[in-house]
């Protein structure tokens, strides 16, 4: 089978498309013929050796996938050959076939195409664990979403509205702001304006946001500390802005705020029962039509380097997929 391979950590342009042995499922595993993947920023960081996980070399990158079950290993009863599925692995999805633990697979919602399934789980799992499990977002509260035009940002906007919050979102271009607005944001601000605290305070009658969803870090985190409500929760989702910020803890004391780290995949690994409950909630949201990923563009299996180019240039709104 064909698979994209990373032989050494470094620039993603060095990835190569190679022919390798097709894997067979071990006990408890399922082999999936992959129909779509959704490369993301963390996948690119992993190839560069900049992610918290460094797989043994050589490895096949990418996490999100959807496809059809081709074979099941010993002891697997939840799936059978021919089932349409979606799932997430830590790496290995950029291949024509992969093997995955049955517990890490979900049925593809009936209303989803393969592209939707590949684009769904990581983004919406991040949003769900952040807003529901770790952030405790309640109906009537105000949610501030940074990086709102990205995959995890748009997921947070859509889920936040479904949960009954007033959503303030930031995005950096008119095109991105239009998509964010269409996903349900009540107010959309220009992310190029570095001092957003005044606008957020004005929109909340001086109170600030109850929950702040921050996949950016850097100056965005610093400014967020000045427009968070008393007893607010600042959710640390990632550091797309590059700099890892530091917290003046006197501000945490004065406003009695919580700084909450969010690692959605690790949540399920540390607490399997909780992770399974999140997966079931995500399935129900998808089946009911409450959450649908925004797909910016679709490419073929040979286009991974081009897709990473688009991600690196910050051109992608929502998710970009590769399907075949």
pLDDT for 264-319, tens place per residue?
989 999 999 999 999 999 999 999 999 999 999 999 999 999 999 999 998 999 99
**Within 13 Å of residue 191, how many CA atoms lie on the same side as its CB?**
25
CA distance 206 to 300: 49
Percentage above 90 pLDDT, the chain: 89
Structural domains in the chain, CATH included, are 2-108+294-323 (3.90.180.10), 124-265 (3.90.180.10)
Contact between residue 15 and residue 47 where contact means Cβ atoms under 8 Å apart? yes
Report long-range pairs for 239-243 (Cβ below 8 Å, ≥24 apart).
Answer: 239/215, 240/41, 240/147, 240/150, 240/215, 240/216, 241/216, 241/217, 242/217, 242/218, 243/217, 243/218, 243/219
Closest CA to 159 of 63, 286, 319: 286
Average pLDDT, the chain: 95
- Please give the pLDDT value at position 52: 84
Closest CA to 275 of 106, 60, 109: 106
Cα 233 to chain centroid, rounded = 20
CA distance 269 to 255: 32
Write out the two tokens for 206.
């001086």
Write out the two tokens for 296.
């910016």
pLDDT for 36-55, tens place per residue?
999 998 999 999 998 888 99
With 0-12 CB in 10 A as exposed, 13-18 as middle and 19+ as buried, what is 286? buried
Band of pLDDT at residue 194, cut at 50, 70 and 90: confident
273 three-state secondary structure: helix
Residues 6+ apart with CB under 8 A from 166: 140, 141, 142, 143, 186, 187
pLDDT at 76 over 90: yes
pLDDT for 5-38, tens place per residue?
999 999 999 999 999 999 999 999 999 999 999 9
List C-alpha distances in Å: 241 to 21, 217, 218, 224, 235: 39, 6, 6, 14, 15
């Amino acid at each position: 089978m064909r698979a994209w391979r990373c032989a050494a950590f470094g620039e993603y342009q060095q990835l190569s498309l190679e022919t390798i042995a097709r894997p067979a499922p071990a006990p408890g595993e399922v082999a999936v013929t992959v129909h779509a993947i959704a490369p993301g920023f963390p996948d690119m960081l992993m190839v560069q050796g900049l992610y918290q996980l460094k797989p043994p070399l050589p490895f096949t990158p990418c996490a999100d996938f959807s496809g059809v079950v081709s074979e099941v290993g010993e002891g697997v009863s939840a799936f059978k050959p021919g089932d349409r599925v979606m799932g997430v692995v830590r790496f290995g999805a950029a291949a024509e076939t992969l093997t995955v633990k049955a517990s890490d697979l979900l049925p593809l919602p009936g209303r989803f195409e393969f592209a939707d399934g590949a684009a769904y789980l990581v983004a919406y799992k991040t949003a769900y664990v952040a807003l529901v499990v770790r952030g405790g977002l309640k109906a009537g509260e105000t949610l501030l979403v940074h990086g709102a035009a990205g995959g995890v940002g748009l997921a947070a906007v859509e889920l936040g509205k479904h949960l009954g919050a007033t959503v303030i979102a930031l995005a950096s271009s008119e095109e991105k702001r239009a998509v964010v607005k269409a996903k349900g944001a009540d107010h959309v601000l220009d992310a190029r304006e570095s001092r957003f605290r005044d606008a957020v305070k004005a929109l909340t009658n001086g109170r600030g946001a109850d929950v702040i969803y921050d996949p950016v870090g850097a100056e965005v985190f610093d400014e967020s500390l000045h427009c968070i409500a008393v007893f607010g929760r600042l959710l640390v989702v990632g550091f797309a802005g590059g700099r890892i910020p530091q917290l003046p803890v006197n501000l945490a004391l004065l406003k009695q705020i919580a700084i909450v780290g969010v690692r959605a995949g690790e949540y399920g690994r540390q607490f399997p029962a909780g992770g399974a409950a999140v997966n079931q909630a995500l399935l129900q949201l998808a089946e009911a039509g409450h959450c649908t990923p925004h797909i910016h563009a679709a490419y073929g299996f040979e286009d991974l380097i081009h897709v990473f180019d688009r991600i690196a240039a910050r051109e992608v709104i929502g998710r970009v997929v590769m399907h075949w």
